[in-house]
C-alpha cells in the first residue's frame, strides 16, 4: 500500500477515536485508540524509507505505552503515563538543544525584540499558572509535574529561538509540534486534576492527534536537512 493510504487511514482512525473518546463510546475507543500511533508509524517508515531515525521510533514506543496506560485507566495511571510522555520530550529537547548550539556557534543572535520577549514571558506565565492551579497530592506527583512542565517550557523557548534564528520548514513544524504538545498536555492535566468537560476534552484530543502528525512531519523534513 502507498504512504498516502496510511495517512488517510490515520485520519479516519483519528476521527473515530475523537468521537468515541468525546462521546465515551468505550467499545469503539478500545478499537480505535490502539491503532492511530502504529498507523502513523507505518506512514513514517513509508515516507522515511532507509532514512528513518531511531529516536523517532523510541519516542513513539514511549508515546504508545503512555496512551495505552490512559486507555486502560486514565485516573489510576495518569502520573505513570506522564512519565512515559516525558521521555520523548527529553529526547526532542536534547536534539533541539544541539541544533540551537550549532546556530549560536555560526550565527549572531541579534533578533531579540518585543515579540520574542512577549512570547517568552507568556510561556513562563503559562507554566507558573498551570503549576499554581494543579494541586499535587504527593511530593512525587509534584516533582513529576514540575519537571514535566519545566522540560516543556525549555523545549518551547529553544524551539522559538531556533525558529527565529533559522526559519525553515523543519523549524516551523517544530514550533507547531511543541505548541500542540503544550495544549494537549495542559488540557489533559486540567481534565485529570481540575475539571472534566467537553471543551477541555475536545482541545486535548485535537491537539494530541495533531501533535503526533506534526512530530512525524518535522522528523521527516529534518532528516532531509530542510
Confidence of residue 32 (pLDDT cuts 50, 70, 90): very high
Return the pLDDT at 109: 56
Which residue, chain included where needed, has cell 485529570? 192
Residues of 196-214 as b/e, b for ≥16 C-beta within 10 angstroms? eeeebbebbbbbbbbbbbb
Mean pLDDT of the chain: 86
Report pLDDT for 97: 94
Half-sphere exposure of 218 (CA within 13 A, CB side): 22
For residue 33, pLDDT over 80 is answered with yes
Q: pLDDT (tens digit, 9 = 90+) per residue, 73-108?
A: 877 888 899 899 999 999 999 999 999 888 887 765
Position 128 scores a pLDDT of 72
Half-sphere exposure of 105 (CA within 13 A, CB side): 6
> Global pTM?
0.89
CB 34 within 8 A of CB 68: yes
Instruction: Report the percent of the chain where pLDDT is more than 90.
Output: 45
Average confidence (pLDDT) over 1-6? 77
97 is in which domain, residue-wise?
3-225
Structural domains of the chain, count: 1
pLDDT of residue 19: 93
Amino acid at each position: 500500500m502507498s504512504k498516502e493510504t496510511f495517512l488517510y487511514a490515520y485520519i479516519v482512525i483519528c476521527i473515530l477515536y475523537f468521537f468515541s473518546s468525546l462521546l465515551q463510546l468505550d467499545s469503539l475507543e478500545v478499537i480505535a485508540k490502539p491503532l492511530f500511533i502504529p498507523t502513523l508509524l507505518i506512514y513514517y517508515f513509508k515516507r522515511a524509507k532507509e532514512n528513518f531515525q531511531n529516536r523517532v521510533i523510541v519516542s513513539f514506543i514511549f508515546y504508545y505505552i503512555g496512551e495505552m496506560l490512559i486507555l486502560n485507566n486514565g485516573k489510576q495511571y495518569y502520573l505513570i503515563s506522564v512519565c512515559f510522555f516525558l521521555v520523548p520530550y527529553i529526547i526532542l529537547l536534547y536534539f533541539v538543544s544541539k541544533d540551537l548550539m550549532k546556530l549560536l556557534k555560526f550565527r549572531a543572535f541579534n533578533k531579540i525584540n518585543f515579540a520574542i520577549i512577549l512570547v517568552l514571558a507568556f510561556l513562563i506565565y503559562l507554566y507558573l499558572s498551570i503549576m499554581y492551579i494543579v494541586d499535587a497530592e504527593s511530593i512525587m506527583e509534584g516533582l513529576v509535574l514540575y519537571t514535566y512542565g519545566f522540560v516543556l517550557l525549555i523545549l518551547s523557548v529553544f524551539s522559538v529561538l531556533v525558529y527565529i534564528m533559522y526559519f525553515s520548514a523543519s523549524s516551523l513544524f517544530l514550533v507547531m509540534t511543541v505548541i500542540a504538545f503544550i495544549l494537549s498536555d495542559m488540557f489533559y492535566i486540567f481534565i485529570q486534576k481540575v475539571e472534566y468537560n467537553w471543551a477541555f476534552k475536545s482541545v486535548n484530543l485535537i491537539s494530541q492527534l495533531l501533535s503526533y502528525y506534526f512530530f512525524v512531519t518535522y522528523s521527516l523534513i529534518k532528516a532531509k536537512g530542510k
